[in-house]
Structure 1
């Protein structure tokens, strides 16, 4: 659409790109730009349209605005609307700038040299395309924020005197996912979950806390393997648990990621270590032909070094200035979409969550939130979050199968992994972290308190080795405080009826006292 060209969707419609509208309305902003320029980008989660009523509302993936919000029917009008009401979609903007070339943006700036939206677009054009427009430096105009911090999460800005804007983008051109402010995220950030966790453990005795931390660490390591459908030997689970316990001590870069991959793989006889040297995908193979059936196509192997450099810059830059959980979501899910290795990506993806939280001091010292175990419990929700982007991305990746049942990507896809909407991922991760604080941590400390009290009481009555005490306690927990006939006849046949009754009474009293 050239400036001034008639908008092909100037009339109200009920369906747009296969997406039903809540009522007949006129698409605007990113919706029109994507369609008019046939931009090969993932369609945003939420689009905008002008409805017939004087009511602003959201429904079915649409923000419906009133007739008074109708923008001018040209490129400048829809770009301005997008920046004002829809926030930044960097993938759309970069693809659009490549299509339009510099002239329309240059004309917008010359027509409104002090206009905040024009200067923001000017900055974004040069930032995204790494090129300089034929414009003199801005001489006037109040410094404008590139990201509207009331709509999307941003960092403290640095001044660009050329454009008279504050660059508060949460990343670099090499990697910059965006996260929208939602009521759920606002509430989580306001809670201060890290402070809550520290207050919670302040009342836990040191020895009890150490045992709690050890259990949760092992639980997280085991769960991370189980998510991948693996059941490795205990020593391998423990080794990976030790690595998780050291998360946050080293910065993330290619060498560190490759070191971690070597640890997580263990036996690498049949796995290529290091960055992939060919394509990659997640999905199945056709049973008859062996052809790939992808659910997600990974980044091209040619793009991996630059994408990993982008992750590295994000970890050392924007991740230090964003809320830790938001930063962890952007880094970890960005990594898993890139999928840089032949194997080990899922466990490293979850390691990166621990890395950011630990590096930022979000966890209490010595304690790892068992995020993987929560993810395992919520595996369907986890997959839904992963698919929230993969499903929109997959139709845009052109690929062909190889003789080895792999894929070769035929188009440039690198920006798809740099600029995704990480809002669903941030909400999911916050939910997981909150559950570890609200449920897992207090549940485990309460369990150990009860177990210790039970052990002391029983040992005063009967001399029993720890192994049998553990089994006795487990049997009582599994059978609502009663010893089953099987347990009385086999493992604990040596107990008299009076002793067995006393053990059950001790257990019931301790449970009641614990509330």
Structure 2
């Protein structure tokens, strides 16, 4: 019997890798496989076990199922349980197949040559490892999807006759993060946000829509720098805004990423442009020793070519057929975890959101949703989402400091950047997109309508240049609809008391009487 089948699976317990179970239970599926084969992988966000009670108990970290759900205590049993109840975790499966070797998987298929799960396991082994098992092509069994589309987002797929399965993987073996179908994501999709956005702008005059779009574009560019804690000159913000406005027009490849990095960095005298040729991390340095204190460690520079090619393949393939926001989350957050450049990664990561949405026609023509502004307003949630994977990944990376106070990764980590659960990222991004459509877009359009009305009434009362009306408005806005004594005595000393009173009345009528 192959060694993979001889492993002994453990019994009931209360704690697994510092995670406390809600009750005494026996690990099942991925948890059992990670434990039995001692796999060094990021733990799935939620693990499974089977308990002694005839009811299912669930929390954020565990799903305790009933005794009748308990799998047979062997590799086949737990693999089948994982695929049936937990979906695909490609990072775990890749490391598991390396641990079992081919013979154990061949035995599972030979025992159940027409079994749905056996054929899916067979396909996944060859797809993930690139190795062909010593098995003849399948002769029976109906075609089944590799990914259960009711569990996780997948493509339409195409038949793979060797296994009699439908290959609906939303990526390649070089880059294939997955997203679970959660009730929250289904609610977002049912909202039909693109149609809501089109409805918002349907009755907006062309010139007003153009001004709205220009403001939102500038707002997004400024916010993207603010997230990084930067305050670049206005011309650099505008330049990056123009690049965002052109998102989706050029296909994504290495040259396009390099072009965008040059735009976002601007002054590169003290920054090395291009893909990293050494390690990288996000975090701080110890004040005394200057040793790295990483919060996140980037992909090894040796792995960047294949990871970048995987992202490009995803963008040119699955991203064009999957839900646009889900695809944008996979590509953008995958990019920021890989962190291929020394600088500019964060802004390019947010650019990729615009790239996918624009390429898919998710937003109305000429309108850019200020997603970065929505992220900036939810910066703590944004960091929590980023850490939802980084915190599970960091303990698995073996590294040492370099003489340049950087990090050098010592173990093979590429699969952890190719395959991760992007569900929290998709939920977060959908919430941001919803806000931009339901709040920012109509709010800015309404503001510009009101501002035009304010300007028109002021100019009919007092002849002023547009820039002077704008200054007047800013003073009123900053002082709750009242013109301050300072403004009356200096910039607007030529206005009479009656004119000031009428202007304040115009402001109150249009923007609301905000004066206490």
Q: TM-score range by the shorter chain?
A: over 0.9
**Who is 1:236 aligned against?**
236
Q: Deviations over 1:266-308 (max 9, x none)?
A: 1112211111011100000011111101001101111101110
Provide Cα deviations, 1:152-197, integer angstroms capped at 9, x if missing partner. 1111011000000001111111100000011110011111111111
Measure the CA separation in 1 of the matches of 2:57 and 2:462: 68
Return the alpha-carbon distance in structure 2 between the equivalents of residues 155 and 51 of structure 1: 35
Three-state SS of the structure 1 residue aligned to 2:4 is coil
Deviation at 1:252, TM superposition (A): 0.8
Query: Which of residues 7, 10, 14 in structure 1 aligns to 2:9?
Result: 7
Q: Which residue number in structure 1 is paired with residue 472 of structure 2?
A: 472
- In 1, the alpha carbon distance for the partners of 2:54 and 2:481 equals 63
2:20 aligns with: 20
TM-score of the superposition, structure 1-length normalised? 0.98
Instruction: For 1:329 and 1:432, locate their aligned partners in 2 and report how far apart those are by CA, in whole Å.
Output: 11
C-alpha distance 7-292 of structure 1, shift in aligned 2 (>3 A): same
Task: Find the aligned partners of 1:270 and 1:486 in 2 and give their Cα distance.
Answer: 44
Task: Tell me the distance in 1 between the aligned counterparts of 2:266 and 2:480.
Answer: 41
How far off is 1:198 after superposition?
A: 1.1
Higher deviation after alignment, 275-284 or 477-486: 477-486
Distance across 2 between alignment mates of 1:4 and 1:246: 57
CA distance in 1, matches of 2:72, 2:485: 80
SS of 2:156's equivalent? coil
1:371 and 2:371 equivalent? yes
User: More deviation in 123-132 or 493-502?
Assistant: 493-502
Alignment of 1:372-411 (within 5 A): 372-411=372-411
Q: How does 1:123-202 map to 2 (within 5 A)?
A: 123-202=123-202
| Corresponding residue for residue 418 of structure 1 | 418
- CA distance in structure 1 between the aligned counterparts of 2:489 and 2:66, rounded to whole angstroms: 76
> Displacement, 1:481?
2.0
Q: Residue 4 of structure 1 contacts residue 73 of structure 1 at CA under 8 Å; is this kept in 2?
A: no
C-alpha offsets along residues 462-494 of structure 1, whole Å, 9 cap, x if unaligned? 011222211221222233222223332332222
**Is 1:316 matched up with 2:316?**
yes
- 1:209-248 paired onto structure 2 within 5 Å: 209-248=209-248
**Counterpart-to-counterpart distance in 1, 2:271 and 2:507:** 50
Tell me, in whole angstroms, the C-alpha distance in 2 between the residues paired with 1:72 and 1:5.
12
Residues 472-511 of structure 1 aligned to structure 2 (within 5 Å)? 472-511=472-511
Mapped to 1, the partners of 2:231 and 2:106 lie a distance apart of: 59
- Structure-2 separation of matches of 1:497 and 1:267: 50
**C-alpha root-mean-square deviation of aligned residues, in Å?**
1.3
Shift, 1:4, TM fit? 5.0
1:428-453, CA deviations, whole angstroms, 9 ceiling, x for partnerless residues?
Answer: 10011000001100110011011000
1:438 alignment counterpart? 438
Per the alignment, residue 41 of structure 1 pairs with 41
Check conservation: 2:7, 2:36, Cα contact below 8 A: no
Alpha-carbon contact 1:21-1:60 (below 8 Å) kept:
no
Question: 2:20 is paired with a residue of what secondary structure?
Answer: strand
User: 1:368 and 1:291 mapped to 2: Cα distance?
Assistant: 41
Q: Detail structure 1 runs of 4+ shifted over 4 Å in the superposition.
A: none
Determine if contact 1:22/1:60 at 8 Å carries over to the other structure. no
CA distance in 2, matches of 1:207, 1:269: 40
Gaps of 5+ in 1: none
Whole-angstrom CA distance in 2 between matches of 1:471 and 1:20: 60
Q: Distance in 2 between matches of 1:29 and 1:133?
A: 23
More deviation in 17-26 or 385-394?
17-26
How far has the Cα of 1:506 moved from its partner?
Answer: 1.1
SS of the aligned residue for 1:102 comes to helix
C-alpha separation between the residues in 1 aligned to 2:361 and 2:57?
A: 39
CA drift of 1:241 comes to 0.6
Residue 289 of structure 2 is matched in structure 1 by 289
Q: How far apart are the structure 2 equivalents of 1:143 and 1:400?
A: 48
Q: Is the 8 A contact 2:4 2:101 kept in 1?
A: no
- Report the Cα distance in structure 2 between the residues aligned to 1:371 and 1:269, rounded to whole angstroms: 30
Match of 2:452 in 1: 452
Residues 89-115 of structure 1: CA deviation (Å, up to 9, x unaligned): 000000000000011111111100110
**1:336 and 2:336 matched:** yes
Q: 1:99-135 CA deviation, whole Å, 9 max, x = no partner? A: 0001111111110011000000000000000111000
Mapped to 2, the partners of 1:287 and 1:273 lie a distance apart of 27
What TM-score do the two structures reach when normalised by structure 2?
0.97
CA contact (8 A) 1:193 1:437 kept: yes
Q: CA deviation at 1:7?
A: 1.4
Q: SS at the partner of 1:197?
A: helix
Q: What is the deviation of 1:138?
A: 0.3
Residues in 1 aligned to 2:99 and 2:167: alpha-carbon distance in whole angstroms: 24
1:512 CA drift (Å): 4.9
Give 3-state SS (helix, strand or coil) of 1:2's partner.
helix
Q: Is 1:461 aligned with 2:461? A: yes
State the distance in 1 between where 2:385 and 2:476 align. Answer: 39
Q: Which residue of 2 aligns with 1:206?
A: 206
1:249 and 1:509 mapped to 2: Cα distance? 43
Separation of aligned partners in 1, 2:507 and 2:122: 70
